[in-house]
């Protein structure tokens, strides 16, 4: 992992801060302000993860105060040009680097040049033709069917070669970072975030999954009852035929 160092004193880069809309981040914001002042850095508030106020031009470091959703939003704002420090304020914090109470120690390590950058694989999706839209995703990209038009038939090509064809409600293509999100629910594997690979899984909607499970629960008892009924019928018929013979012999 490459080391992370602050900008030179002659050209200090601002520090961007993105916060979660739920929760009080005032103590952590004061910690960031004090640390940035000691190093002669400006702090730029980027809004909340629900309503960010734009990109982070010139920032080499972004601090995300929140859960995984806030950290993913900060990664989108960074666009690969800035390092993101995730501070966990959520319940899971799979992507977080430190907890809220450990923010001060983490910033001090950054100031001393002891931090390293862990690079993550991102996904780029291009939509439409006129105009073309380019989307950057660090979690996953979901291609789903249009409601009311039945199941979708999707062909997956890799480097111009056909890989597989899927029939369902859609397909989930996940980065290693997002392998624990929708792709797990779709039956895909969970992998280490440091892997340089993408995961592809067929996706069924909740209603379709429930319908399929209800059909299986109904079908299996019916099959077992039918088999048991046939076996009992055969045994009854066997006894009814053999009993009179034994009686006549007696």
**Residues known to be catalytic:** 68
SS (H, E, C) the chain: CCEECCCCCCCCCCEEEEECCCCCCHHHHHHHHHHHHHCCCCEEEEEECCCECCCCCCCCEEEEEECHHHHHHHHHHHCCCCEEEEEECCCCCCCCCEEHHHHHHHHHHHHCCCEECCCCCCEEEEECCCCCEEEEECCEEEEECCCCCCCEEEEEEECCEEEEEEEECEEEEECCCCCCCHHHHCCCCCCCCCCCCCEEEEECCHHHHHHHHHHHHHHHHHHHHHHHHHHHHHHHHHHHHHHHHHHHHC
> What six digits make up the tokens of 25?
């981040």
| 149/249 Cα distance (integer angstroms) | 72
Q: What is the dihedral of CA 82, 88, 92, 97, to 10 degrees?
A: 50
| 161/93 Cα distance (integer angstroms) | 37
């Amino acid at each position: 992992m490459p080391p992370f160092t602050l900008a030179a004193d002659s050209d200090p880069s601002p520090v961007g801060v993105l916060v979660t809309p739920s929760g009080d981040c005032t103590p952590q914001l004061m910690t960031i302000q004090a640390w940035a002042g000691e190093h002669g850095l400006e702090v730029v508030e980027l809004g909340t993860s629900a309503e960010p106020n734009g990109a982070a031009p010139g920032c080499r470091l972004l601090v995300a105060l929140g859960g995984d959703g806030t950290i993913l939003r900060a990664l989108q704002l960074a666009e690969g040009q800035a390092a993101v420090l995730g501070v966990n304020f959520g319940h899971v914090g799979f992507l977080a680097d430190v907890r809220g109470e450990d923010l001060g120690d983490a910033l001090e390590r950054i100031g001393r040049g002891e931090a390293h950058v862990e690079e993550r694989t991102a996904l780029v999706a291009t939509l439409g033709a006129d105009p073309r839209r380019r989307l950057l995703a660090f979690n996953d990209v979901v291609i789903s069917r249009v409601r009311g038009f039945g199941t979708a038939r999707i062909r997956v090509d890799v480097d111009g070669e056909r890989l597989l064809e899927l029939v369902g409600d859609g397909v989930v293509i996940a980065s290693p970072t997002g392998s624990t999100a929708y792709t797990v629910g779709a039956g895909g594997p969970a992998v280490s975030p440091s892997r340089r690979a993408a995961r592809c899984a067929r996706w069924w909607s909740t209603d379709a999954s429930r319908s399929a499970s209800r059909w299986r629960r109904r079908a299996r008892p019916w099959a077992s009852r039918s088999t048991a009924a046939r076996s009992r019928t055969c045994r009854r018929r066997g006894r009814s035929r053999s009993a009179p013979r034994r009686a006549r012999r007696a």
